[in-house]
Chain A
Amino acid sequence: MIDLIIAQVFNGLVLGMIYVLLAMGLSIVWGMMDIINFAHGLFFALGAYLAFTVAAWSGSFFVCLLVVPLATAAIGMLLEVSLLRRLYGQNILYQILMTYGIAIAGRELIVLLYGPVGKSFDQPDLLTGVISIAGIFFPIYRVFVFAVTILLTMGMWFVIEKTRWGSIIRAGTENLKMVSCLGINISGVLTLTFGVAMAIAGLSGVLAAPMRGIEPFMGDLILGICFATVVIGGMGSFTGAVAGGLIVGLSQSLITLVMPSASVIIIFIVMAAILLIRPRGLMGIRD
């Protein structure tokens, strides 16, 4: 039983780290541009499907890890420049409708190109198999995903806390107009930020694909979970996204031990409980 719990805790951490990456992007975009990005789930799905194509074409999973985030970043930046930029400062409902329109058009495009039925995604040969530590088996691929996501999260933390661009992001989350008054080219920063968020979303799609397979509606499900994650963690907070993601991942994988059918509902129960105690989320900094 203890073995099982430890294995599930590990699974929960891996799952949670994927949520962390997605929630981080959602939270940064929200904090900087005040946009609730409904297309975030689309980019997750897009990452997985692009990985499917690139892997078939190049034969290597590791090429995907490099190429796909660049591709999703490029698509994201294109969208920001052509569409989202026109909506800054508008009513939030317009932004939701716009990003939602992008999300459904993109999802249907995926169905059109790849078919409505899901596909399986093979694990890379190099990473198949299990490691046994003290009698408990850990799949190598999950260990790999855990390592990559931890590194990426630490990298993002370093960028946000220690670099000039990061300080612009933090300042922009507080007050974007003021930052622009200080003589910083906001529109370039926003485009880049959106691109990076979409790159991370695409990369988490690539990482998740071998664990769960790919299907056109994968983005919809994950988007709902990400909203809950951001609400739990609190808006515009990096540590909040990390805490929220891990809480969601862990509660989801631990509840499957007792009651597998409640694996999604538990997220929202946790969310409601946290909101009752702390309406602004765990680490929320402002309205």
Chain B
Amino acid sequence: MSTGEKTSMLAALWCENRPIVVLAALFIVFPFVLPYTALANEIMLFALAAVAFDLCLGYSGVMMFCQASFFGVAVYATALTLLHLTSNIFAAIAVGVISASAIAVVVGFMATQRSGSYSVLLTLAFAEMIYFIAFQWSSLTGGDNGLTGIKRPNLEIFGFPSISLQSSLSYYFFSLIFFIFAFYLIRRITLSPFGKVLMAIRENEQRAQAIGYNTRLYKVAVFVIGGAFMGLAGALYCMYICFAHIHYVHFEISGNIVMMVLTGGMGTLFGPVVGAFIIVLASDLASALWDRWMIVMGILYILFVLFARGGIWGFYEKLLRTWKTQKRKSPLSKEAAASS
């Protein structure tokens, strides 16, 4: 292979992944810009969950309202693994992701039996079920008190000296690696042939069926992939906060994740990251100022649905498109003016 080919390949790789590099650069800067590192970590992990849900909603048109179940079950599973089984960080994450995917298989299978609002209601009912199980099975989950005493493990790879993750900054960069890798995977999924089938289902499920795709299988697969990545967010979140509580399986988390995707703009992958940034920052600010800050969040929800349905990223892309077309038009119009 000549050096020219190599550089052109590198250039292609750079072109393809430039947005991800920019995203990574942004997240590397975040903890130093934001008031405290924990906030950056919270933004990143919710961004991961939101991006995963965007794969479901924005790319496949799969609606659900049980994001908190995937997220929260992973939080519990990781917490229980760390408390009772092992202190290996990768094993704990794996258990979290696998248990969230297992829940996603069941919920996805049930929910895709029906369509439209009925399917959404089914996911809701399952989310409530998981919430109440977590609430009442207090010998396992600690009920309303939650699980405490979780120790964040250190990073131990066989053959290497162990790396401490006890400071919030080192843990932030540890989870950043996962975040960027997960984002890259999700983006690849949307660009793959599999992703094109998902978009076909979103646009017209009956036609996708007519071409010969088993659309239900694809939808269950989307549930599982989305659930696994939300589970990854939950597992990392558990070790970030060292606490598991029924709050994390509560509907509020689902509502927030949906809000992040819709505020940012669905079907854009980068929008939900912006949405997570805004929602987490807004609730952090509001909760510091006022005990009853949830009123503000409720009103924000209402105002958003009334006035900003397209999402921020959608607005940005529209702006970009009009700007580009204007730039393309302007020399033409000058020529046209000159020739006439």
Contacts and interface: CB of A to CB of B under 8 A. Distances in A.
Contacts of A104: 252, 294-295, 297-298, 301
Interface stretch (B127-135, B167-175, B234-242): B127-135
A36 B120 contact: yes
B136 A101 contact: no
Given A101-B301, A104-B297, A275-B110, A92 B128 contact: no
Given A268-B132, A275-B122, A287-B116, A93 B302 contact: no
Interface in B287-330: 292, 294-295, 297-302, 304-306, 309
B-side interface size class: 35 or more
B8 interface: no
Interface in A84-102: 86-87, 90-94, 96-98, 100-102
B3 interface: no
B255 A97 contact: yes
Contacts of A284: 118
B120 A92 contact: yes
Interface string B77-95: 0000000000000000000
B301 A111 contact: no
A228 B128 contact: yes
A92 B118 contact: no
Interface in A266-282: 268, 271-272, 275, 279-280
A262 B136 contact: yes
A287 B116 CA distance: 7
B124 interface: yes
Contacts of B292: 108, 111-112
A97 B262 contact: yes
Nearest to A264: B132
Contact residues of A: prevailing secondary structure: helix
Choose among A83, A93, A106, A279 the residue with the greatest number of B CB atoms under 10 Å from its CB.
A93
A30 B124 CA distance: 14
A105 B302 contact: yes
A37 B121 CA distance: 11
A-side interface size class: 35 or more
A109 interface: yes
Choose among B251, B297, B304 the residue with the greatest number of A CB atoms under 10 Å from its CB.
B251
Contact of A97 (B117, B125, B301): B301
B285 to A, nearest CB: 17
A196 interface: no
A262 B137 CA distance: 9
Interface string A218-250: 000000100110110001000000000000000
A230 B125 CA distance: 10
A103 B302 CA distance: 10
A100 B292 CA distance: 16
A174 interface: no
Nearest to A112: B292
Contacts of B295: 104-105, 108-109, 112
Interface of A: 30, 34, 36, 83, 86-87, 90-94, 96-98, 100-109, 111-112, 224, 227-228, 230-231, 235, 261-262, 264-265, 268, 271-272, 275, 279-280, 284, 287
